[in-house]
Amino acid sequence: MQDPRPARSGAAGALRRAAPALLAYGGVRALGLLVLAGWSAARGKSPHTLLTARWDSLWYTRVADFGYGWEVRLPDGTVHSNLAFFPLLPWLERLVSAVSPLSYADAGLMVSWLASLCAAWGIFRIAELLYGRRAGVCAVVLWAALPVGIVQSMAYSESLFTALAAWSLYAVLTGRWVSAGLLASLAGLTRPVGAAVVAALWATAAVQVVRERRISWRMAIGVLLAPVGAAAYVLWVGHRTGDGLLGYLDVQGQWGNGFDGGLAFARFVGAKLTSFPSALAGLGLIAGVALVIWLYVLCVRRGQPLALLVYCGIVVALALCASGYFGSKPRLLLPAFPLLLPVAVALARLRTGRAAAVLGGVAAASAVYGAFWLNGSGPP
C-alpha cells in the first residue's frame, strides 16, 4: 500500500495535517496532569515523584546511572535483576542528561513526553491513511484518554515503544521497508513485545513475496534489520548471565514473568469471584477482557491490514497470557492502538459536536481515574 497523498506535501505538510490531532492529544494529557497535580496535592504527595521515581521508572534510571548488574534479592531468595529492562530508554536518559542539566529521572520524563507526541503522530498517520483525517484525530484522542493513559506521561517505556511501533507499521503500510526494519529494531531494544513489530513486518513481507514472486533488496534489508535490536540484547543477556539463549527468560522468570496461555490470570480472576465485594472487580476484569477480544474481532472483520492484525494480536496475547503482575495488564495493552481504530471510525461518522462531547467525557474520566490510580496502587 502506498501513501495516496502527493510526495510534495513532505514532513511539514504531514505535520500540519496532524496538528489538530497533536493539539488534542496535548490537551488530553495536560488535563490528566492537572488533575493528577490537584489530587496529589490533596493527598500530600508529589506528582513529580509519581511520574519519575516509582516502580519501573526507578529501574530505568538505575540502569542509566549504574549500568547493568544491579539487582534486588527478596526474602524468598528470588532475585530481581535490572537485566529484565531493555536498554533504549536508559540510553536516551543518559544521553539527554549528558547534554542538558536534567537528572536521569527528568530526562526519562522528557523522552517519554516527546515520544508520546511522536506516538500520537504515528497513530494519526496510520488511521488517516486507512480511514481519513477525522478518524485519525479520534484515534489519537482515544489513545490519549485510555483509562491508564497517564502512563504515557510517566518515565516509562510504553510511549517510546508505541512511537517506534506505530511509525514502523506506517512504514510497512507504505512500502518503506528499510525504515520499517530500522524502527522495528529500535522497538526491539525498548521492550520484549518488540517481537510483535518484527512479526508484523515479516508477515507482510512474506505475503507480498508470495503474491509477487519476488523480493526487492529494500524489503530484504528491512526483513533482516527488524530483529537485530531484540536479538542483540537477548543474546548479550545470555552471554552475561552464562545461560546462553535462555538467559533472558531466566531473568524474567525470577521476576515471576512467563507465558502460560492465561492460566494464572484466569485463576486470579476466578479467585476474585469467590467473595464480595472482590467479585465486582472480577466481573470488571472479565468485561475488560471481553471488550479487548471483541475489539480485535472487529479489527479482523473490518479488514485491517495484516501488519496491524499481527502486531495487535501478539501485543494482546502477550499482555493477557503472561503469568505475572496482573495489575500491569492494562498498561501492557497501551501499545495495542489498532484496537481503537473501529471506535475511531464510528466516532468520525458522528457530527463534530457529538463526537467532541463523547471524547471530552472520556478524557475527563481518564484524567480522574489516572490521578486516582497513580495515587493508589499505580502501575507495578
Q: Is residue 177 part of a domain?
A: yes
Q: Are 164 and 208 in contact (CB under 8 A)?
A: no
Residues recorded for the chain: 380
Per-residue pLDDT of the chain (380 residues; tens, 9 = 90+): 444 444 445 778 888 999 999 999 999 999 999 999 999 999 999 999 999 998 999 999 999 999 999 899 888 878 899 999 999 999 999 999 999 999 999 999 999 999 999 999 999 999 999 999 999 999 999 999 999 999 999 999 999 999 999 999 999 999 999 999 999 999 999 999 999 999 999 999 999 999 999 999 999 999 999 999 999 999 999 999 998 888 999 999 988 888 888 898 888 889 889 888 889 988 999 999 999 999 999 999 999 999 999 999 999 999 999 887 777 899 999 999 999 999 999 999 999 999 999 999 999 999 999 999 999 988 87
Residue 81 pairs with which residues in a beta bridge? Answer: 71
Q: Is residue 228 part of a domain?
A: yes
Structural domain range at position 182: 17-375
Q: Domain count of the chain?
A: 1
Give, for 36, the enclosing helix (H) or strand (E).
Answer: helix 10-42
Q: Are 74 and 123 in contact (CB under 8 A)?
A: no
Q: Is residue 8 part of a domain?
A: no
Q: Is residue 247 part of a domain?
A: yes
Q: Is residue 190 part of a domain?
A: yes
For residues 39 and 367, give the distance between their C-alpha atoms in angstroms, rounded to a whole number.
Answer: 10
Q: Is residue 12 part of a domain?
A: no
The letter for the amino acid at 52 is: T
For residues 366 and 343, give the distance between their C-alpha atoms in angstroms, rounded to a whole number.
Answer: 16
Can you give the pTM of this predicted structure?
A: 0.95
Q: Is residue 6 part of a domain?
A: no
Q: Is residue 9 part of a domain?
A: no
